Structure formats: C-alpha cells, structure tokens
C-alpha cells in the first residue's frame, strides 16, 4: 500500500497491514506523479529483452552498438573511444530492452576483456565518468574483415537497418583489417 502526498495511514490500517505482512509506504509525490513513475519503471523492468554479442558505447550522447565476429576488435575500438573521453555501457554481452515501439535501451557491464591482456575494470581505471548505466541504441556499426573484392559504400548513401525486438536501428558496415593504418589500399 502506498500513501502519496505525505499522507499517513491510520493506526488501525497499520495494524492490519502488519498482521497480513503487507508493506505500507509513504511518498511525497502526488498520486499521478507516483503512478507515472511506477508505470515507466515497470515498462523498463518488464520490457522484452535479448542478449547479443557486441559492445555498446556512448559517443557524444549517441548510443553506438558495435558488432562483429569474435576477435575482430570491438573491445579495442571501445577502449580507444573511452581513452578519448567517451563512455562504456557494456562490453561483450549487451542486454537490449525494447522499452517502446521506437526505443531500444542497452544496459551496463563495466568490464572490457582484451585478448592477451585480460579483463579491465573501466570504472576503476578511467573513473566514474567513463561508464554509463544504460543508453538508447541509435546506431549499429558492424565490423567485418576487409575484402578487396567487395563493393563497399564509401559515401554512406545506402540506408541499412538492423532489427532487434521489432525495432529498426540504422546500421553501417565498417570493413577493417589488422596491421593497416591510414587509408585502405585500392
């Protein structure tokens, strides 16, 4: 039982609640404010969710989900973004929740696993400002091995989307290969 607007229950109600082990809470919010917050919270907690292999980072306030094969460099890319002042939401396993028909939220895990180095606690190493509890997913970057025979859209004119839980998110493929810096060879 929740009493809003700092109203206090009667002694008789408290006795009955105690007898039947019913919690009694008091909130300073109005009933409509309290109900709106409970509905919002339940919408997030009970939202349909999936878990995917990838990295979620906050870059200038935009949620970027980096996906690709294991070992392609997702965690290394995330660590470099963190070193440049952006924030980690989750590495390796990203839980995605569909909180509305247009919004997907990724939730946090503040550790990065780097091959040959081990597990890094980003929050302790780079500070509390380097991590974020949750982030809306605005863009998906798919890392893939560079193929010299593939025809890549270098200008980003093609609109591509990835669908998670029925919601579409803008997506771009980024071809990469190890040991090459600067421009790709033609």
Q: Which residues participate in catalysis according to the annotation? A: 53, 74, 92, 154
The Cα 41–Cα 113 span in angstroms is 31
DSSP assignment string, 113-146: EETTTEEEEHHHHH-GGGB-SEEE--EEEEEEE-
CA distance linking residue 112 with residue 121, whole number of Å? 7
Token pair of 119 as six digits: 């597990």
At 26, list the tokens. 């008091």
The β-bridge relationship of strands 49-59 and 25-26 is unpaired
Bridge partners of 131, per DSSP, are 88
Q: Is 76 helix (H, G, I), strand (E, B) or coil?
A: helix
């Amino acid at each position: 039982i929740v009493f809003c607007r700092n109203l206090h229950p009667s002694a008789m109600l408290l006795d009955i609640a105690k007898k039947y082990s019913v919690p009694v809470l008091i909130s300073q919010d109005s009933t409509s404010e309290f109900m709106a917050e409970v509905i919002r919270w339940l919408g997030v907690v009970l939202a349909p969710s999936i878990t995917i292999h990838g990295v979620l980072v906050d870059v200038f306030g935009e949620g970027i989900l980096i996906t690709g094969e294991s070992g392609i460099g997702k965690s290394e890319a995330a660590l470099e973004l963190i070193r440049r002042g952006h924030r980690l939401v989750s590495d390796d396993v990203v839980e995605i929740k569909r909180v509305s028909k247009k919004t997907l939220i990724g939730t946090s895990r503040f550790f990065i696993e780097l091959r040959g180095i081990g597990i890094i606690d980003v929050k302790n190493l780079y500070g509390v400002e380097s991590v974020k509890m949750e982030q809306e997913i605005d863009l998906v970057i798919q890392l893939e091995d560079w193929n010299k025979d593939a025809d890549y859209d270098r200008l980003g004119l093609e609109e591509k989307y990835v669908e998670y839980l029925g919601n579409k998110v803008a997506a771009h493929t980024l071809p990469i290969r190890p040991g090459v810096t600067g421009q790709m060879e033609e």
